[in-house]
Amino acid sequence: MRFKVIQKILGLLLALFSLTLIPPLVMSITMDDGIEYAFVSAIFVTLLLGLFLWLPVRKFKGELKLRDGFLVVVLFWLVLSFSGAIPFIVVDNPKMTLIDAVFESMSGLTTTGATVLTGLEELPVSLLFYRQLLQWLGGMGIIVLAVAVLPMLGIGGMQLYRAETPGPMKDAKLTPRITETAKMLWYIYLALTVFCTIGFYVSGMSFFDAICHSFSTVAIGGFSTHDQSIGYFNSWQIEAVTIVFMFLAGVNFSLHFLAWRSKSLKHYFEDSEFLMYLALLLSVFLICFLGLMLNNVLSGEIVTSLRASLFQAISMGTTAGFSTEDFQAWPAFLPVILILLSFAGGCAGSTGGGIKVVRCLLLYKQGVREIRRLIHPNAILNIKMGNKAVSNRVIEAVWGFFAAYVAVFLILMLALMVTGLDQTTAFSAVAACLNNLGPGLGAVSENYGNISATAKSLLCLAMLLGRLEIFTLLVILTPSFWKT
């Protein structure tokens, strides 16, 4: 463990992050909403802390090892969640406790979209903007951003990048240099955001709302500037734009990259993960639609039901967590299906959460392989993605991930029930946080304000575990990680 390198990079990252607080500060000053002090103090604290860490070791030279990368990423996310909470703690309106502030900040950065706040329309606009910005930064990954703009990270960039990006196969780079790859990802991300903003603006949102919602849509976060989320606008155009961009942001960004470079869409339809993603979302959409029609919800209106079920299926399936309808009140099996769908989540290498579609696909194929093995004991059976065989090493990793995911889920759910929550609430809250989804059922269907502080801290842990795909966090909790 080389603490000096870790300290240096951590300091650098914090100083960098303090810069991202400037836009909301500028906004606060121009809109004159009276909370400049919150952002000024946050910038001050974060920058000082960063410099304090960086200055003593700035001359130190050394490369980051694979192991150090995990520690940097976890520490950075932890420190960031706390420093990101500073504006929430400092402001007078709304008055928030420490744990509420951290929960909100963590929920933003991990793109979960669970909130403890109500009466959003009454809040200072710069604070609303700040929440959306947190989601946007967390979506593509603030470390990926750092890798893109800080070339001095060098080789260490790859270690950090690997520890933060989601998916089972992390060695595939889009370009030979990791800095270029990170830049490409951010360009695509930026382009999606710009198009999304234009889409929202054209469909009738105010410019402010358009920017804010494009941040949380492309990041697959789910924060909104209104209590009723996207439902507030009650406009099919806005819903359509949201659906399209949630869907696009849930696709592996390397596919966008390939499509952009080869100027053709064929890569999408040659990718088995994409096809599975499409199939999953469409089938849950159909189930929801039939469920709504058969139970005569929404007075059995075909168009309204189609619209609501499509929006909700995509929103929950990609783990964004926007809502247009009070879906918690739908016939009991529908909310549960939607929550379960969020376990599959987005594709690997996207901004979506969950286990990731590709892992589910591999697990399914592994199951099929076991059955075929029983019939043909001597056969050599491969698991294939597209036309390429997937190595057993990857399958093992996926199994390990799945087991850890289930175990973490169960432990956290039981722990929440210990704090006094009922089973529905505990189940949905853990699922919503671990999958970076957002809305839950039962006591947390409106917001997370009413549960105990212990429960909130457990859910913060769940969000971080989900965002860093469990192993990055688990590995630093093992004793052997700290042994030399």
Partner 1 sequence: MAANLCSEPNDITVVDLNPTTLHHLQDRYDLRTVVGHAAHPDVLLKAGAQDADMIIAITNSDEINMVACQVAYTLFQTPTKIARIRENQYQKRKELFDAASFPIDVIISPEQEVTDYIKNLIEFPGSIQVVDFANGKVQLVAARAFYGGPLVGHRLAELPEQLNDVETRVTAIFRRNDVIIPTGDTVIEAGDDVFFIAAQKNIRAVMSEFRKIDGPNRNVIIAGGGNIGLRLAKALEDTCNIKIIESNSARAHKISESFKRAFVLLGDAADEDLLREENIENTDVFCALTNADEANIISSMLAKRLGAKTVMALINRAAYVDLVQRDIIDIAISPQQATIGSLLAHVRRGDVVKVHSLRGGAAEAMEAIAHGNARQSKVVGRKIDDLKLPPGVVIGAIVRKEKVIVVHHDTLIVEDDHVILVVTDKRHVSDVEKLFQVNLTSS
Residue 252 sits at φ, ψ, to 5 deg, of -55, 125
Q: Which residue has the tokens 């500037």?
A: 225
Nearer to partner 1, 300 or 386 (CB): 386
Total site size for partner 1, rule CB under 8 A: 12
Residue 389 sits at φ, ψ, to 5 deg, of -75, 140
Nearer to partner 1, 61 or 376 (CB): 376
| CB 379 to partner 1: min, Å | 5
| CB 86 to partner 1: min, Å | 53
Nearer to partner 1, 169 or 474 (CB): 169
Q: Contact between 388 and partner 1 (CB under 8 A)? A: yes
| CB 396 to partner 1: min, Å | 16
How many C-alpha atoms does 209 have within 13 Å on its Cβ side?
19
Among 59, 152, 303, 387, binds partner 1 (CB under 8 A): 387
Please give the residues from 398 up to 437 whose contact with partner 1 meets the rule CB under 8 A: none
Nearer to partner 1, 176 or 377 (CB): 377
Q: By three-state DSSP, how is residue 378 classified?
A: coil
Bridge partner list, 385: 388
107-119 as b/e: b if 16+ CB within 10 A = bbbbbbbbbbbee
Bridge partner list, 390: 383
| CB 344 to partner 1: min, Å | 25
Two structure tokens written together for 260: 């952009």
Nearer to partner 1, 387 or 478 (CB): 387
Give the span between the Cα atoms of 380 and 292, in whole angstroms. Answer: 46
Nearer to partner 1, 377 or 479 (CB): 377
Please give the residues from 336 up to 355 whose contact with partner 1 meets the rule CB under 8 A: none
Please give the residues from 367 up to 386 whose contact with partner 1 meets the rule CB under 8 A: 372, 376-382, 384
Distances from the Cα of 453 to the Cα of 306, 309, 443, 444, angstroms:
39, 34, 14, 14
SS (H, E, C) 269-314: HHCHHHHHHHHHHHHHHHHHHHHHHHCCHHHHCHHHHHHHHHHHHH
| CB 388 to partner 1: min, Å | 7
| CB 98 to partner 1: min, Å | 55
Q: Residue 1, Cβ neighbours under 10 Å: how many?
A: 13
Nearer to partner 1, 261 or 384 (CB): 384
Nearer to partner 1, 98 or 379 (CB): 379
Residue 307 sits at φ, ψ, to 5 deg, of -65, -50
| CB 272 to partner 1: min, Å | 12
Give the span between the Cα atoms of 221 and 7, in whole angstroms. Answer: 30
| CB 279 to partner 1: min, Å | 19
Residues that bind partner 1 (CB under 8 A): 372, 376-382, 384, 387-389
